[in-house]
Structure 1
């Protein structure tokens, strides 16, 4: 007699979701001319940094390198631990965060990249690697795939309901400067930074100093909105402080024009910890001066007992024992 088997089939194994990629032109970039991978590449690092370094090493080119994204993919550590580990990897010489201005003419945009080296490099090597003379193979953005045009048959017209139109934005004051417009748009990008017309007029002069140093509106907006706290009590005071503290360095008045066919303008490194921009020479170990002072270990407090005269101490104890 045949016996039917009613046992359910084994479930199919779960397929791991692919690691999220950054937008084209952003994310992880491996430096060239690296030696072959070895099992002991990160053996000198602490356990946490060694684990995260091995994870980053196996990420594909262009993978997202934000702290939030890494924390989602590495359940052993939270965002604060990931951020501290990235700072330690920067000091160890494996990582640098940079901002690259790419484009030609008026079509210039800033992209944010994390350069990664399997081998530890010193600050001088990173400074020479991330200067404007870096080969095109290192700085070239990831190509954006353009789908090929396809012929799609056009269906016959079908009447459809027209959705309600969004109300037009209020008119901008005539003759407003680009600094005023950039400040006025911050509240729409992040609701923690709403500015009134009077606030924009107050901060307009500070923002103009950024444009005078060669940055564009996208760079200014990114610098002012990066790493915001959970709550901003005084947006105008907060932005005034950032406009002063994060003012980029002055660029040469007559920069060398890029070679024909080159789309790279220049590279500006940013602090791995706080994101403050600056030239590579001003950010040794990938950290600004304030973050280097904060990360420096405190000097050990001398033990006063070690400076005592042991002979005098023993003699005093003997005298106490002889006393009646």
Structure 2
């Protein structure tokens, strides 16, 4: 089914399910600010789902089954195909990381999302932790002074909001009674940042703020401030950071794992159509080798017959 206005800003679900710890959406760094037409280069189905995913909070569930349930247009198979295409277009990568800590080794599974399309080389460097300070070309272009400007100064580019600000800004999407203004978010940002500094995940903080609301919230800002102050968890010493032993990219379609360079576009060789049987080498003997071997066997039989 086509979506008539694929570049329009979509309303994210009021209570999109969160993934289990270690899973879900992770936003890539150095993205340009949201703007109309961010996904205009994509087909209508992919643009529609990309607009929806882009508005989801960190740790939101990103599996095809959940994404099919939270929007009315596409089923699981269509969503799965669209996720594959979003990977090819450079917006998405699924990865698994093996972490070793004092409690032992474990795998965590992440879905990295980038509003700004990236090429395979960027994703490979990012997954190896080597993209700090990179700036998207679109962002650089926006900071270039405009010829003939009245002031001659370059226009300022909006900075990427902090994780704490993002949690507060998205509360209204999850619970309309807690819709906050920009000024409200700025005023409460430090209180929310203290929660994140104490180890509370952004998704968990959102849940704490929206659960058990009264029928009517007269002042969302005052209500959220009171919860941030009254329910602040104790500060705990941070455990020794785990050491990343290996990073594997998961095929967006089948989940097969491999190194980044082996899954261009986030798809394995088989799912991307690069492993067709016609391209494989034959496994049996060549015809001439079969004939030579048969001649050797016949000669051996004649020799043995003469000896008898």
TM-score normalised over the length of structure 1: 0.47
Q: Which structure has the bigger radius of gyration?
A: 1
TM-score normalised over the length of structure 2: 0.49
